[in-house]
Structure 1
Amino acid sequence: MDKSIIEKYQPVIGLEIHAQLSTQSKIFASDSTEFGSMPNTNVSVITLAHPGTLPLLNKKVVEYAIKMGLASGCEINRVNFFDRKNYFYPDLPKGYQTTQDKAPICKGGEVVIRMKEGEKVIRLNRIHMEDDAGKNLHLAGETDTLVDYNRAGVPLIEIVTEPDIRSSEEAFQVVTEIRKLVRYLEVCDGNMEEGSMRCDANVSVMLKGATQYGKKVEIKNMNSIRNVQRAIDHEIERQIELIEKGEAIFSETRMFDATTGSTYGMRTKEELNDYRYFPEPDLQPLHISDTWLADIKATMPSLPNFLYKKFTEEFGLPQYDAQVLTDSKEIALYFEDLCKHTKNYKAASNWVMGPVKGYLNELTLHINDFPLSTQKLSELIALVESGKVSFAVASQKIFPEMINQKGGSAQQIAEKMNLIQESDTGALQPLIDEAIAKYPNKVAEYKAGKTNLLAMFMGEVMKLTKGKADPKITSELLKKTLDNLN
């Protein structure tokens, strides 16, 4: 579609993000929540909704929901109710979902995203608790649909944004930030490929300058953050194309096909009254006391936005460095601890983003498995800072040896491997003189204005010192010697 046509319209997007909570048992039953178990092994009479069974709320689910609310700046609702949301699918054994309609545990709040234009605040409408459904299985060669109820009753929080998102890129960043938050809080692993975090997008378009939103369409079945962006891009173009043709847009639920990059109709969008919400009679109101809330607040970790500001404002790092370092909670905390042992924050950032992450990626390791303590790594940073070794020597020779030995200081290893740079001008001068005397013709060319020959002489000195000459001191001394020659 022509770009000029697309630019006439303003997309309006809201997201509904479901995060499976990392509890060991389900929200209303003691069944295991372990992923990957054999079908229908993590079930009980409560999960299967046998007559006479009653739910019992998992306290840890409430704590995790509150943590997410606090991290998002929400108002925590002190008196909570659960509701029944009625609909009938084979993977919903009760015939209804237990959720929160009128009294969500978290109200309001926001997510801050960083775009090229700067920071943007995306408002949250609510965060509420509910139970998950089972899973329909369509096996190759089978005509019947099979149902696995292991997932039924697994606890969820649903994070609902306001329709503040104006592009697929912004939606990408919102999902990225929310995944980062749930991982920092350790309430969900954020793995979209396994379905432990899922995103539905409500998309509409309107002419720029219009005040009334268009008909919204809900998109489901996006199993990666990149696919969220792809699905929204396709849906925006599809809706614009229909409007340009004078055709109507139906409020419906559509699925995303990652293979074709397109969406297709699934069902007409239900209205809220189709669900026949009513209060859950088998669960008492949930009261959150001041003491309980204070105890939860006391367990809150440092959050990515706080660390980002600390790294940029207090440590003076570029925004790019801070963004990369805060992508992972464990990397961010390792870096923060490293900065307790060195004041050269930029060098520390370079080491963590470079050699450290490179080593972890190469061996597919987690930072918790990294063998060097922050104290040991700071010694290596100090060694480079002192000019005793170059960064190249430190990263390519000393760093691997420190990892292999799992002991010994950077200084000891550098001395043992005879890697300490020669910075004594008295010792360097005879070698510089030797390198210059070896190429009288090149000296004449240098004196005639071919100053780029300095690099050739530098290389010769490095050969004579077996790479141990301090580059900065050597370069200055070499240039001074050549310039003073008659």
Structure 2
Amino acid sequence: MSTRAATEERAVVIGLEVHVQLETDTKVFCGCSTEPADDEEPNTRTCPTCLGLPGALPVLNEAAVESAVKIGKALDADIPETTTFHRKNYYYPDLPKNFQLTQYDAPICADGELEVSVDGERRTIGITRAHLEEDPGSIQHAGGSIESATHTLVNYNRAGTPLMEVVTEPDFRSPAETRTFLAKLEEVLEYLGVFDATRDGSLRVDANVSLVDAGEVREDGSVPESVLADANRAEVKNISSHKGAEKALAYEITRQRNVLRRGREIEQETRHWDEARGVTVSMRSKEAEKDYRYFREADLPALEVSDWKDRIPIPELPDARRERFGTEYGLDDEAASKLTSTKEVADFFEDVAGEYDPDLAATWVADNLLGELNYRELEITDVSDRLDEFKRLIELVAAEELTVKNAEEIVLREMLDEGEDPEAVIDREGLGKAEAGEVETAVESAIDENPDAVADYHDGDDGAINFLVGQVMQETGGSADPGQVNGLLRERLDG
């Protein structure tokens, strides 16, 4: 068999380490704020603890632990009787004390899972562990990329921000699957209220990639531990988005296949994803566990969390809510998926559906509002302070005080583009719904002034009615209901 053929028969094995920034007011081991200001100066949101100064002691943030327990429950993970913290020792400029406070052999969550839909099929991705740790500071390579920078700047404002690291089993077989998983994980985290995707650097991904003999993959898609142990893998770091993960992994898989085609072995190393260039570059040889010299953090006692799982509630998660929307509101799968895409969207839909017909609510939220937001590259969180205005617009349509056409094509768009409330747009554009007498007068005028169209209709050309409807809509400035106009025209012409 040729080298090329042998290379093509290798299977992709990917495991992820997802670092999630938890939404807490203060850092995980000190009282420094986690809320950056727009004009924030570097190295000002710090204290002796997060700077690692001698004698400064850590104090664990209770809110971070509660968030970790919520994540564990959502991932159906085991939460142990006690959990402990360790020092992970390594030197890097963004780690001022030369060790990271993290968890080692007693993480707060272990043996969980997350179900995702891949190509229409449900798949369960195993979660090896999820543990709490502190974020290092941030590094800015000045004058170029990590390879060509003239110097490097370090900002410790982020140091000590609480992170949850979610480590998956090597269950992914393609870059597209990892993108699907990350989107689902982010969706769950947002529903839990422990994560804000709009924060810069709120989700960062490290991916371990290796190629194994395709014949070693079992029928259920799993790979024996012995095969994984023998396969050299590359860790790709600095991935900051779903799309970035897919692109980085696609590049790395191609790189490894090309290495094997040339008859060389894959080096076990850590590689940096250079997003600007779309390539991975070697950073260092891959560390082994022993290189980190883990040892217990003596300044933090073991934390008993066994009863927290029962005490801390979590909200209805997206899959359960999606299923309920189908049964309770009669929505199809597509509409239910749109309306549960974020917790904010789902909450707004239920608020509207509680007062108006669910089909009307679904159309306006899923199709009209989300469609217009998507066109403008906006999220519902960008207009969260105006949801009462959009609900008022739906109320005007439901009460037949505004035509659907005007509401969709003029009022909603002007509300988004000009930032006005619906009444202001309606007044400015003169879009109040026409009175019955005004519509009837316009119908009579259209019939009287367009004898050719009337004759065509009587000759069986049903399309002529559309022309007459248009004339009425023009006469009323679009304030008449097209369905009502159609009915009135037919009534007059057939009478």
Q: TM-score range by the shorter chain?
A: 0.7 to 0.9
Partner of 2:315: 301
Partner of 1:197: 203
Distance of 1:114 and 1:90 partners within structure 2: 40
Q: Given the alignment of the two structures, is residue 70 of structure 1 paired with residue 50 of structure 2, yes or no?
A: no
Q: Given the alignment of the two structures, is residue 248 of structure 1 paired with residue 262 of structure 2, yes or no?
A: no
Distance of 1:380 and 1:285 partners within structure 2: 58
Answer whether contact 1:82 1:99 (CA < 8 A) is retained.
yes
Alignment RMSD (CA, Å): 3.6
Q: 1:186 to 1:23 in 2, by over 3 A?
A: same
> Structure 1 stretch 391-400 or stretch 111-120: which is displaced more?
391-400
Identity rate, percent: 37
**Alignment partner of 1:336 out of 347, 350, 354:** 350
Answer whether contact 2:7 2:260 (CA < 8 A) is retained.
no
**Alignment partner of 2:433 out of 397, 419, 427:** 419
Partner of 2:114: 111
Unaligned ranges ≥5, structure 1: none
Give the TM-score normalised by structure 1.
0.83
Q: 1:51 to 1:460 in 2, by over 3 A?
A: closer
**Cα shift readout 1:217-239 (whole Å, capped 9, x = no counterpart):** 21111222211110011111112
**Alignment partner of 2:334 out of 280, 297, 320:** 320
Answer whether contact 1:108 1:123 (CA < 8 A) is retained.
yes
Aligned residue-pair number: 467
Partner of 1:13: 14
Unaligned ranges ≥5, structure 2: 218-226
**Alignment partner of 2:256 out of 233, 239, 261:** 239
**Alignment partner of 1:183 out of 163, 185, 190:** 190
**AA paired with 1:453?**
A
Distance of 1:389 and 1:376 partners within structure 2: 11
**AA paired with 1:220?**
K
Answer whether contact 1:15 1:202 (CA < 8 A) is retained.
yes
Partner of 2:220: none
Q: SS of 2:238's equivalent?
A: strand
**Cα shift readout 1:257-279 (whole Å, capped 9, x = no counterpart):** 11221111111111112222222
CA displacement at 1:443 relative to structure 2: 4.8
Partner of 1:262: 279
Partner of 1:288: 305
Partner of 1:154: 161
Partner of 2:358: 345
CA displacement at 1:363 relative to structure 2: 9.0
**Alignment partner of 1:370 out of 359, 374, 386:** 386
Partner of 1:277: 294
Answer whether contact 1:191 1:197 (CA < 8 A) is retained.
no
Written as runs of structure 1 = structure 2, the 5 A alignment for 1:123-138 is 123-138=126-141
CA displacement at 1:5 relative to structure 2: 9.7
CA displacement at 1:250 relative to structure 2: 1.5
Answer whether contact 1:341 1:374 (CA < 8 A) is retained.
no
CA displacement at 1:367 relative to structure 2: 3.7
**Cα shift readout 1:422-476 (whole Å, capped 9, x = no counterpart):** 499xx84x86566445444445555555443332233234445554554334435
> Structure 1 stretch 199-208 or stretch 228-237: which is displaced more?
199-208
**AA paired with 1:288?**
V
> Structure 1 stretch 231-240 or stretch 324-333: which is displaced more?
324-333
**AA paired with 2:166?**
I
**Alignment partner of 1:90 out of 88, 93, 102:** 93
Give the TM-score normalised by structure 2.
0.82
Q: SS of 1:282's equivalent?
A: coil
Distance of 1:21 and 1:55 partners within structure 2: 18
